[in-house]
Structure 1
Amino acid sequence: MAFTRTLAALVQGGSRQRLMSISICPARNIISFNEPLRPKSMPEVMEALKSYVGYVGDVKGAHEKLPKTQEELPTRSMLDSYDECIIPVSTSLTTQKSHTSGQGFVRFGRILEDMDEFAVWLSYRHLQYPGLSFGVPMPVIIVTALVDSIHSEDMEIKPQHDLKLRGHISWVGKTSMEVTMELLALLPGQAKHLVNAKFVMVAMRANSSITVAVNKLLPRNEEEQTIFNEGAANVAQRKKFQASGILKQPPNHEERDLLHKLFLEDFDPETYILKSDECPAGAVWMSDARLTNVVICQPESENLYNKVFGGFLMRNAFELAWSTAYILSGRRPKTYHTADIWFRKPVELGSLLHYEAQVVYSRENFMQLNVNATVIKPDKGTKEITNVFHFTFCLDGNSPAPRVVPRSYPGKLECFVHDPFVRAESKHAQLASKHTLCLAAPALYNATGLPHFCLNLKAFS
């Protein structure tokens, strides 16, 4: 998604207050909807999902009714998938307790869970397969492939008013769908916009890893065409970035300049001796700016497909990232942006899931954190990364965040990948327009210096 301004341009232009007032997501990314509609509650959404899916069982016979090509399916509109859902953080004591933090704010991790569930629901509303009866479990599962972006300049929401999620399918490929959602606070007489979110969902055969064709999306008017074009641009931008990433191309001129600058910071010009063992005053080594946690994935976190619920994975990753930023800075972090959350593989129930949160960049009072989720199998002696998460936090107050200093070449690559000033001035800035501090590029290396997986975006065609 293209930003209206880059962070670099804002800093060059003046105050941080101007930065805090920008809008990263477009003002209009949800269709206009004025028809009477009774919003569902989250429990009602789950019950409705069960009517579409049930718990996945023997659906081999139903597989034969699935279309072979997308052309066999009827076209759908954005209105077909549009729906609304209430999160009663004010009027339901049960929801208020589960969604409110110890500081008295709505828990962003719980909102991630609600968004993930709602995105699955909207995806099923879009699907229409001839020959499959409503109420009979569909031989298709919807999985979250990517959280493209969730932006809010102030996620410190008090549970004084109920919240409402609304959204619809905004773009469709062959087997994937982009879901655009908006979170609103239901104030008396009006709805206040809080958050924009874009998820990428993929349709797959139940009990298999084979993708399934989804209905084409046909824009009905200029408004819907604009939204659809934006979704297509998002896909093109992701593919371009993957093709131009550090694992595919060497550092460019501006990136080499930054590497040299980082080298000089480790070099004593008087003695000609590297001082890599000395961390600059007021800074912290990148390798020390991290926290880890291990979670046992119990059946209570099960989704409809007998796997671990994706929202549960996101909530745990976010809370570890938030804690890391808090401990390192000593100031309470405010959620500013969430982006590029990749779901590489489903996580099985009973898995030992190791989370590692790493601060990879800081600038002014902003901190960028990456979290890796790895399934560990002690009996087999194996480890496999299943998810990667990226979060941007804004710290309380005006004093800068602790500076994070890389010690290794991979760490320095991480640093300039997340440096908005270098990326904005690069001749490749158009390809890297997403990668300001507010929406950083995917992490390329973990703390050991080993490259992460490189996900094939063709799966999201």
Structure 2
Amino acid sequence: MQDSYLEEILEFTNPDIREEYVNPHGTVRIGKVLEDLDALAGSIAYMHCDDNSAETIPLTIVTASLDRIDLLQSIPMDQDLRLSGHVTWVGSSSMEVSCWLETMSTPPPDPRETSYGVGVLAAQKRVPGKKILTAKFSMVARDPITGKAAKVNQLILETDEDRRLFRSGAEHKARKLMDSQFDLSAVPPSFEELNLVHELYKEYIQYLDPTYKREMPSNVQWMKDTVQQNLVMCMPQDRNIHGNVFGGYLLRLAFELASSTGMIFAKSRANFVALDDIKFKKPVKVGALLSLTSQVVYSSGRTFQVKVRADVIDPIKDEQSTTNTFHLTFEADHDVSRVMPRSYDESMRYIEGRRKKERWMRVSETNSTN
């Protein structure tokens, strides 16, 4: 596993670098960190598949999905951070790349060191501190000529930790397959979920039907009123080595729109908690018009779910197709309004968001136990 290990230091103690990552609130611009993570995962996957032969045409590797990102604690702006990761599981043509973001601590320089060597020696002494963020990416390899699935290098499991990570990767892949079998697009809502939708209907009809003479409470918002949109022209500067738009760039756009949507909904800062599975359904070409639509689909207490749909628009052919769907969990500093659906389509989004919230709670409990 360590053969594919890569790391990158974000030197937030350098004012010029910190300036690139700071947001208007003086905290870290998480969307930019997510963009860096996607680039790191791609580099790790290419390193793992390299056969060290200059005569071999490199495999084409693409991000199939971003399986999950969890923010374990707030990201400090006054410390250097380390992005690192390596391949933790492989199948026939697919790989799981696990990445981490950690704080870096540097011991104070020894007064006996010469001024010339202080910087170098201090950098060598930097050691990882607390783990801040974890992420898992699923990468797939394709033959660069035929485009068909290509076999990737297998892993030699040398230590107990290697075996634990590999076993965890296999279990994660099995859970993903099981979760996909219960997707709302394929499986109808459960009896309990249908009862919930009916209860919501009985409530919201009283706000719409004048015979009830019931005003909507101040702590309830219509789901349709939480929609925000953005339209972006995809530029050549944002392409990857395959000539398509870099996945990390799409991730950053989606995150920053979701964060802004959350601020408007909560009327306060929206603190990022987790990003659920993302499937990259199709590549986005340079020059495409990318339409991003975000909406708060579920809320409970201080937490709420924001769904972002990314569509590619072809104005010449008058066609539109969805390329990605993002589900993000945020937490406000106070209890937020209840979001209220008023159609079947919105009710299904509500149920989907509720399922994402329940899944996030299960994962959080598992992480705290481990």
TM category, shorter: 0.7 to 0.9
**Whole-Å separation in 1 of the counterparts to 2:282 and 2:362:** 27
Residue 403 of structure 1: which of 307, 330, 338 is its match?
A: 338
- The answer to whether the 8 Å contact 1:267/1:273 transfers is no
Which amino acid counterpart does residue 43 of structure 2 have in structure 1?
Answer: W
Structure 1 residue 170 corresponds to structure 2 residue 105: no
Which amino acid counterpart does residue 69 of structure 2 have in structure 1?
Answer: I
Structure 1 residue 160 corresponds to structure 2 residue 83: no
5+ long unaligned stretches in structure 1: 1-77, 425-433, 440-461
- The answer to whether the 8 Å contact 1:359/1:368 transfers is yes
Which amino acid counterpart does residue 42 of structure 2 have in structure 1?
Answer: V
- The answer to whether the 8 Å contact 1:368/1:392 transfers is yes
**Whole-Å separation in 2 of the counterparts to 1:184 and 1:215:** 28
Residue 53 of structure 2: which of 127, 130, 133 is its match?
A: 133
**Whole-Å separation in 1 of the counterparts to 2:145 and 2:234:** 20
CA distance 1:170–1:382, change in 2 (3 Å): same
1:435, distance to aligned residue in structure 2 (A): 5.3
Which amino acid counterpart does residue 303 of structure 2 have in structure 1?
Answer: F
**Whole-Å separation in 2 of the counterparts to 1:383 and 1:207:** 29
1:273, distance to aligned residue in structure 2 (A): 6.7
Which amino acid counterpart does residue 330 of structure 1 have in structure 2?
Answer: K
Which residue number in structure 2 is paired with residue 328 of structure 1? Answer: 265
Structure 1 residue 83 corresponds to structure 2 residue 6: yes
Which residue number in structure 2 is paired with residue 380 of structure 1? Answer: 317
Structure 1 residue 98 corresponds to structure 2 residue 36: no
- The answer to whether the 8 Å contact 2:271/2:330 transfers is yes
Residue 150 of structure 1: which of 69, 80, 84 is its match?
A: 69
Which residue number in structure 2 is paired with residue 239 of structure 1? Answer: 177
Q: Percent identity?
A: 36
Moved more, 206-215 or 187-196: 206-215
- The answer to whether the 8 Å contact 1:279/1:285 transfers is no
- TM-score, L = length of structure 2: 0.85
**Other structure's SS at 2:152 match:** coil
Which residue number in structure 2 is paired with residue 340 of structure 1? Answer: 277
**Whole-Å separation in 2 of the counterparts to 1:252 and 1:385:** 27
- The answer to whether the 8 Å contact 2:219/2:336 transfers is no
1:310-351 deviations in Å (ceiling 9; x for gaps) = 111000100000000101211011111112122111111111
Which amino acid counterpart does residue 66 of structure 2 have in structure 1?
Answer: V
**Whole-Å separation in 2 of the counterparts to 1:268 and 1:299:** 52
**Other structure's SS at 1:300 match:** helix
**Whole-Å separation in 1 of the counterparts to 2:235 and 2:294:** 22
1:213-232 deviations in Å (ceiling 9; x for gaps) = 11122322322111111111
CA distance 1:236–1:282, change in 2 (3 Å): same
**Whole-Å separation in 2 of the counterparts to 1:316 and 1:268:** 38
1:174, distance to aligned residue in structure 2 (A): 1.4
1:255, distance to aligned residue in structure 2 (A): 1.4
**Whole-Å separation in 1 of the counterparts to 2:322 and 2:262:** 22
Residue 109 of structure 1: which of 31, 41, 56 is its match?
A: 31
Question: Could you say what the CA RMSD is over the residues aligned between the two structures, in angstroms?
Answer: 2.6
- The answer to whether the 8 Å contact 1:149/1:340 transfers is yes
- The answer to whether the 8 Å contact 2:204/2:340 transfers is no
- The answer to whether the 8 Å contact 1:302/1:308 transfers is yes
Which residue number in structure 2 is paired with residue 44 of structure 1? Answer: none
5+ long unaligned stretches in structure 2: 108-126, 365-370
**Whole-Å separation in 1 of the counterparts to 2:175 and 2:211:** 43
Which amino acid counterpart does residue 60 of structure 2 have in structure 1?
Answer: I
Which residue number in structure 2 is paired with residue 452 of structure 1? Answer: none
**Whole-Å separation in 1 of the counterparts to 2:15 and 2:46:** 27
- TM-score, L = length of structure 1: 0.69
How many pairs were matched up?
Answer: 343
CA distance 1:180–1:382, change in 2 (3 Å): same
**Whole-Å separation in 1 of the counterparts to 2:196 and 2:138:** 34
**Other structure's SS at 2:175 match:** helix
1:362-386 deviations in Å (ceiling 9; x for gaps) = 1111111111111100000000111
Structure 1 residue 221 corresponds to structure 2 residue 159: yes
- The answer to whether the 8 Å contact 1:266/1:274 transfers is no
1:69-111 deviations in Å (ceiling 9; x for gaps) = xxxxxxxxx1211222212222261x22221212222211111
